Structure 1
């Protein structure tokens, strides 16, 4: 199922309603084949300014709606999202190179996220604190931020956009979503259609596809009071710097070089299965991808053998043409980067156990052994289907190796002794640690986020979303005025 050239989003942005964008036109290109799928309009700084002004005007009325009416819009959006699964999954496969199973998981997780957000408006909005002043009542309450700018990535564009858009709307904010141009249809424009059909008032949501200039205009606009950014650490640092100067709230979910730690008492068959999923899912294009495999020397050879055998069985190809395990990398630049990192590491002494041969944008599941901390396969976030294996001797050495990275998003520890694994996990500088599992985990009801170069300590999900997308206000009440000494 495809949209026709007369699709509503064709050469349009969603600026309160469907309008031509003032930015350049960009072709929607299928990464697997290079086929042109449509033509995007992009937003420029003037579009961002118009959206921000309209959002600021529309937000107070949206926030003032009774909680059940805001919830009803989000529940209807969830229903429409599920009902339109076939079309959205189609675009996720064609536009983003997702295999169908990944696209289906992402959509189902997004529906769950929508249901959770629909429940948020009915939660308590504050607390009452005691006062040392007679007859004073102290109310501490959550209030909307105002206009929230969301800059979403291309790898999981639906889920990683909606995990900010939905709770922000639920708590009474207006939202400007800037999807990446490589995923703007399924990760933005189709969602705008559904929000419009769900009854979201005009001006409360805007979807403005664009590149760095569009994002910079959004970050710098004074009417945008918060930025929620998911993307690279380098860009996140720039956004954080700008928001810091403007005293603007910012939530940064950034890159990772995540570690799988395999202790000498681990179930190696299970560990290898977890590692293959964590390293190769969606071609490794996931911030939580298992990018470093630390294995205790005693079991390193067997672990490498098992992981290489799993990698060799995985098929890379066009996910729209038939069943495959890995689709294409998102663009030629990314495919070239993966190829270059592997080649440099092999030149420095890494052993290629599986994969390693690029075919255009397709890169096979690849396993490298004898990787040292001096090699690019260790130091760089590859964002491709590569599993570098490094040997260690003691638990203390494993901790030092994991914590030697500036990143701190996710980690996993495998051991037959849960107390041993938990003791090691408590020493790791990572925002999320999974015992006897893999690094790519997400549950909408659990706070999610990283440490260090992986983010600014902010969290999404469950109760953390209340903190992320609201601000607090102290209101004290005296039934009548009192006399002070002067």
Structure 2
């Protein structure tokens, strides 16, 4: 990826077989900086011919890559993690330019992604790629073999981390990849694929919009699809994968609930909830989007939540809130607020379109909300904290469970019985007293939030196919 004069848009290319490659089509798209509303890059729309070239490069590289001894593959991936860490400032700056997250905050996520890549290699060292079972007549071996070429389609809200998290186990297992990042975040991913420094053809990049993604999912030589994105597109990806009898892992939308019990410190809990609702401008699939608070602590909790929201400012160098990714996303978020107000919700802070440049939206707290409102039923993906008062912890759990989504849920309680009850929530991830807590995240989204287990050894199960080989008399 070439450097540019800050006054001129950067022209991006695909990266295929270790080289920058121009698109077979002349059709292009423009990338707009969400803070300035200026065009900062021009990138190819992507086409089926581009995908053909990238998949061919990945397929040609896959045999050598899978035959590379596991220890050597893992050392190459660990070296890639080291390079990501060294380039963390640069990658975070590129993320800031394309999707708005303040670079000072983004560095933390890039460094965390590098650590997660290293963790995936540790999982590989303990994964049973081969098991031997002896019996009286011979020996049975269960071999876990790579699938081949994986198509990896990633979202814009964590451009670097989403790619790294997806491809670590896929590559370590011996597959090669073609990555198609969101058309809203091609900058950092382009640089990331270059920074990885993996052998030519092992990690390839095709830029473009939905047409390029469709061509990748439908390609006959793609054996595995890893998709992170919306429910609507995920259904299409899943239907294609099902028709072609192809492996797919789908991590889709969320409408994650929070249940606040009567026995917690309401001020400290509100501070934690503000972080979970407003971090990354609410553009996290596990953002806290539905808050159910016990009536006994509702007043001090809500007061503290409003105070905490006031500390999530925007528009300055040290702001915690960046802009939303684009005008379309801001319109979507504001439409949820307008819908809620029209149905009786109260805006305690925020809830307006700021004047001036940039797709900013203030941290917003709503009360008097209910399930008739979009903000309590559909994914908002913005800095909105809707608070509903409940009369018991059991009611909070019941409302938390009543959703078509099932990605994650968070509960704050000091009661061991209530903590135990929270484990029954229909979600892939359940956190008690600490949002995003814990180390081992092996999970599968429930309901409309996705399909396919991931994390730890489960990611290697997804990236390999078992073959049983029996030999008698040997």
TM range (shorter): over 0.9
Alpha-carbon distance between aligned partners in 2 of 1:35 and 1:142, rounded to the nearest angstrom: 49
Residue 450 of structure 1 is aligned with which of 437, 445, 452? 445
Partner of 2:110: 107
Alpha-carbon distance between aligned partners in 1 of 2:426 and 2:384, rounded to the nearest angstrom: 23
Partner of 1:20: 22
Alpha-carbon distance between aligned partners in 2 of 1:119 and 1:400, rounded to the nearest angstrom: 38
The answer to whether 1:334 aligns with 2:336 is no
Q: CA deviation at 1:120?
A: 4.8
Partner of 1:484: none
Q: Is the 8 A contact 2:260 2:393 kept in 1?
A: no
Residue 309 of structure 2 is aligned with which of 287, 297, 311? 311
Alpha-carbon distance between aligned partners in 2 of 1:192 and 1:427, rounded to the nearest angstrom: 40
Residue 404 of structure 1 is aligned with which of 402, 405, 409? 402
Partner of 2:279: 281
Alpha-carbon distance between aligned partners in 2 of 1:215 and 1:330, rounded to the nearest angstrom: 20
Render the CA deviation track for 1:364-414: whole Å, top value 9, x for unaligned: 000000101111111111100000011211233222211110101111111
Q: CA deviation at 1:448?
A: 4.2
The answer to whether 1:145 aligns with 2:147 is yes
Alpha-carbon distance between aligned partners in 1 of 2:160 and 2:131, rounded to the nearest angstrom: 34
Q: CA deviation at 1:232?
A: 0.8
Partner of 1:164: 166
For normalisation by structure 2, the TM-score amounts to 0.94
Alpha-carbon distance between aligned partners in 2 of 1:392 and 1:286, rounded to the nearest angstrom: 25
State the secondary structure of the residue aligned to 1:28. Answer: strand
Q: Write out aligned runs for 1:245-394 (5 A).
A: 245-317=243-315, 322-359=317-354, 361-394=359-392
Partner of 2:190: 189
Q: Write out aligned runs for 1:49-198 (5 A).
A: 49-123=52-126, 124-131=128-135, 134-186=136-188, 188-195=189-196, 198=197
State the secondary structure of the residue aligned to 1:250. Answer: strand
Distance 1:421 1:104, change over 3 A: farther
Q: CA deviation at 1:441?
A: 5.2
Unaligned 5+ segments in structure 1 are 481-486
Q: Is the 8 A contact 1:120 1:170 kept in 2?
A: no
Partner of 2:32: 29
Partner of 1:423: 420
Alpha-carbon distance between aligned partners in 2 of 1:104 and 1:212, rounded to the nearest angstrom: 29
State the secondary structure of the residue aligned to 2:456. Answer: coil
Q: CA deviation at 1:142?
A: 0.8
Q: What CA RMSD, in Å, does the superposition of the two structures yield over aligned residues?
A: 2.0
Alpha-carbon distance between aligned partners in 2 of 1:400 and 1:122, rounded to the nearest angstrom: 41
Render the CA deviation track for 1:429-475: whole Å, top value 9, x for unaligned: 1111111123x4584x432442111111x233222221121111111
Alpha-carbon distance between aligned partners in 1 of 2:292 and 2:348, rounded to the nearest angstrom: 16
Q: Is the 8 A contact 1:11 1:25 kept in 2?
A: no
Unaligned 5+ segments in structure 2 are none
Partner of 1:4: 4
Render the CA deviation track for 1:69-125: whole Å, top value 9, x for unaligned: 212211221121111122112111111201234311211111112212334554441
Deviates more, 1:273-282 or 1:356-365: 356-365
Distance 1:415 1:122, change over 3 A: closer
Alpha-carbon distance between aligned partners in 2 of 1:122 and 1:288, rounded to the nearest angstrom: 29
Q: Is the 8 A contact 1:352 1:367 kept in 2?
A: yes
Q: CA deviation at 1:135?
A: 2.6
Alpha-carbon distance between aligned partners in 1 of 2:125 and 2:293, rounded to the nearest angstrom: 47
Q: CA deviation at 1:34?
A: 1.3
Render the CA deviation track for 1:7-28: whole Å, top value 9, x for unaligned: 9x83311121211013422223
Alpha-carbon distance between aligned partners in 2 of 1:135 and 1:42, rounded to the nearest angstrom: 59
